[in-house]
Amino acid sequence: MTEPVPVSSRAANIEYAIRDVVVPAVQLEAEGHEIIKLNIGDPIAYPGLPTPPHMVDAYVEALKGGHNGYSPSYGLPQLREAIANDERRKGWDATPDDIYVCHGVTEALQLIFAAVLEEGSKVLAPGPHYPPYMAYPQMYGAQTVEYKLHQNDGWKPDFSDISSKMDDDVRLLVLINPNNPCGTVCGPEDVDELLTIARAYPNCIVVADEIYDGLDFTGRHVSVASRSSDVPVISLNGVSKVYYAPGWRIGYMALHDPSHRLSLVRDGLERLLRSRLCASTPAQLGYLAGLTGDRAWMERYGQKVMNQRDHCLKRIAGIEGLEVEQPGGAFYMFIRLTDEQWAVDDKDFVLRLLHEEHVLLVHGSGFSPELGKGHVRLVYLADIEVLDEAFDRMERFLQKHRSPVAMS
């Protein structure tokens, strides 16, 4: 038998739980089963939250108007200006030169990791977290170290744990706010405490992943850059979640450099950006329409998302075997599995629930092998009727498989 061509260890070790669980779901669909998919944070995959028409119209007009060629590597000038204006509204003095448009936040992360990390570097990120924070740093010989979140206190950051894990090798300190998968919203006092810790390490940059900032139900969210007078911050945001256009793959990084320490990093980022040409030109024009047009629709969309969150909280409270901390933002529930057999093997719960009840969630250990274990992530954007059906099936599954310890 011919030996297969070897694959790099980098690729062989990559996992992306959110889409990995889709593989068995696709097989079940091929067999004729209908799956309730609550696994992926794609807001337009669910009814009632379409991409705003004026943004779609702008995208279509860009295509029809011939805006199909390459655009500047750092982004269209008019879009960089609009993003800078938006960031200034959040409380810091952003300029268009601070804005770099990317193929979504995921590409921005790849560029930041490539520009900053080397062999032996560390990324300090919350556990649980969005999977690329664990997957990509290893490609550069770096290591992701997870800091704890308080599971029984709204998944707030454990600042003593952050302090204990900081050292001179930590080049990037990550705050995902609101958090994916937990929905935690950090307010000004939390952000200030994080910046105080980072301040002691001059080679450390704070990465503020704020892609869900427009889905804050607490009123406490603040831009990290707006709170920093000295610590360098790279803010990440884009069109996917708050503007409901994830397939456009347009995001950005905004460099806040109050102490003028990022000149070398900026040069490295710009070299990398030029080498990959540009982000989609017509999609950038669609995003521009969202930033410069009427935003009254956002309140209506946000209210719908919050109403569905509240409905899910009530359903979970009535199901034995499930517990959840109320999320303050985004559109995820990070649900605790209290039955012992699932608490130790959440992936088995997800796969068996999929095969027996045809409901697709994501195992919490896919967001952190240790700190996410014993949980599942649920996207609560489906219609109430669909969510209720999913919860009915989950309750039936839990009752069927309840362990003797849980029943006693």
Asked whether the beta carbons of 128 and 367 are under 8 A apart, the reply is: yes
What is 234-302 written as a DSSP string? EEEEESSTTTT-GGG--EEEEEE-TTS--HHHHHHHHHHHHHT--S-HHHHHHHHHHHHS--HHHHHHH
Q: Cα 297 to the chain's mean position, in Å? A: 22
Domains (ranges, CATH) in the chain? 9-50+296-407 (3.90.1150.10), 53-292 (3.40.640.10)
* % residues pLDDT > 70 (the chain): 98
Which tokens go with 316?
Answer: 């979970």
Query: Which one-letter amino acid corresponds to residue 161?
Result: D
The secondary structure of residue 374, as a DSSP letter, is T
Distance between CA atoms of residues 373 and 225, nearest Å: 32
Distances from the Cα of 60 to the Cα of 53, 78, 171, angstroms: 10, 18, 41
Model confidence at 144, pLDDT cuts 50, 70, 90, reads very high
Q: What is the pLDDT of residues 345-360, one digit of tens each?
A: 999 999 999 999 999 9
**pTM of the full structure:** 0.93
Q: Cα 356 to the chain's mean position, in Å? A: 29
Q: What is the pLDDT of residues 276-290, one digit of tens each?
A: 999 999 999 999 999
Q: What is the pLDDT of residues 149-180, one digit of tens each?
A: 998 889 999 999 999 999 999 999 999 999 99
SS3 9: helix
